């Protein structure tokens, strides 16, 4: 039995000072592959450095929507393209829209999202999408880039919505990643949607160092917590942990090419 943490931030301060132990803790919990997700250009470079150093870590290149107001890619597009060509980069992102906190104006978020799609799509890599309280605008932009010659694939990271949003994602062939939110949410519609995700489309993640699952709320989350999340979801979905581990790991390997 093995698991994949498809979304963590090993380069963030709460984990970076103890990398070797964090990776060991993950391996001891059978979390054998980690994807280190970039949230700025510099941060993505750090993620790649982790991937280059450790055999069981891969990286993504992205810019979080919170950073939109302070990011101008006109001068940084070549750097993004350069990073996307690195050998262990397996996805574009995270990228998307976040209207919950609105740290950046909506127009700036949309601009950055479109720029990253245009820069990332030619690579053929999947995308890691961040969507929070922005579904209508997200689908409008996403669909505008789909054509017979270009199909953008990827995963909805940290999915915490209901069946309607799930159906929208699945109808577009996207994967859905669940994390510790499922263990402490009181929203029954979110739990219902988590039960409905098809086996062939489900991924596991932590978003470490954030979103530690119950009963570890308030503590620093580590990739090892994928196992706790898997155990909760297996019970919720009336499945065995072994079975859930097998198909979520296979899905991660297929989407991200974790060979």
∠135-139-141 over CA atoms, to 5°? Answer: 120
Q: What is the DSSP string of 175-193?
A: EEEE-THHHH---HHHHHH
Interval 63-112: pLDDT, tens: 999 999 888 776 668 899 999 999 999 999 999 999 998 899 999 999 99
Q: How many structural domains is the chain composed of?
A: 1
Please tell me the predicted confidence (pLDDT) of residue 70: 85
* Length of the chain measured in residues: 259
**pTM metric for this prediction:** 0.97
CATH code assigned at 166 = 3.20.20.140
Domain that holds residue 107: 3-256
Interval 216-237: pLDDT, tens: 999 999 999 999 999 999 999 9
Tell me what the mean pLDDT of segment 3-22 comes to.
96
Please tell me the predicted confidence (pLDDT) of residue 104: 94
Q: How far apart are CA 48 and CA 43, in angstroms?
A: 9
Work out the percent of the chain whose per-residue pLDDT is above 90.
Answer: 92
């Amino acid at each position: 039995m093995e698991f994949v943490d498809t979304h963590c931030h090993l380069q963030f301060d709460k984990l970076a000072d103890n990398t070797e132990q964090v990776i060991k803790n993950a391996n001891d919990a059978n979390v054998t592959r980690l994807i280190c997700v970039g949230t700025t250009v510099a941060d993505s470079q750090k993620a790649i450095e982790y991937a280059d150093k450790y055999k069981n870590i891969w990286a993504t290149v992205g810019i979080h929507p919170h950073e939109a107001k302070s990011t101008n890619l006109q001068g940084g597009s070549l750097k993004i393209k350069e990073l996307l060509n690195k050998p262990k980069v397996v996805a574009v992102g995270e990228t998307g829209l976040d209207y919950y906190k609105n740290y950046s104006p909506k127009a700036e978020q949309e601009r950055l999202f479109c720029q990253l799609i245009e820069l990332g799509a030619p690579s053929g890599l999947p995308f890691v999408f961040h969507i929070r309280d922005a579904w209508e605008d997200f689908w409008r932009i996403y669909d505008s880039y789909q054509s017979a010659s270009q199909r953008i694939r990827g995963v909805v990271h940290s999915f915490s919505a209901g069946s309607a949003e799930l159906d929208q994602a699945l109808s577009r062939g996207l994967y859905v990643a669940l994390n510790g939110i499922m263990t402490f949410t009181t929203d029954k519609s979110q739990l219902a949607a988590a039960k409905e995700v098809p086996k062939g489309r489900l991924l596991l993640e932590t978003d470490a160092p954030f979103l530690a699952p119950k009963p570890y709320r308030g503590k620093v989350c580590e990739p090892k917590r994928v196992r706790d999340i898997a155990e909760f979801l297996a019970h919720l979905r009336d499945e065995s942990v072994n079975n859930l581990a097998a198909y979520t790991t296979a899905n991660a390997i297929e989407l991200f090419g974790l060979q």
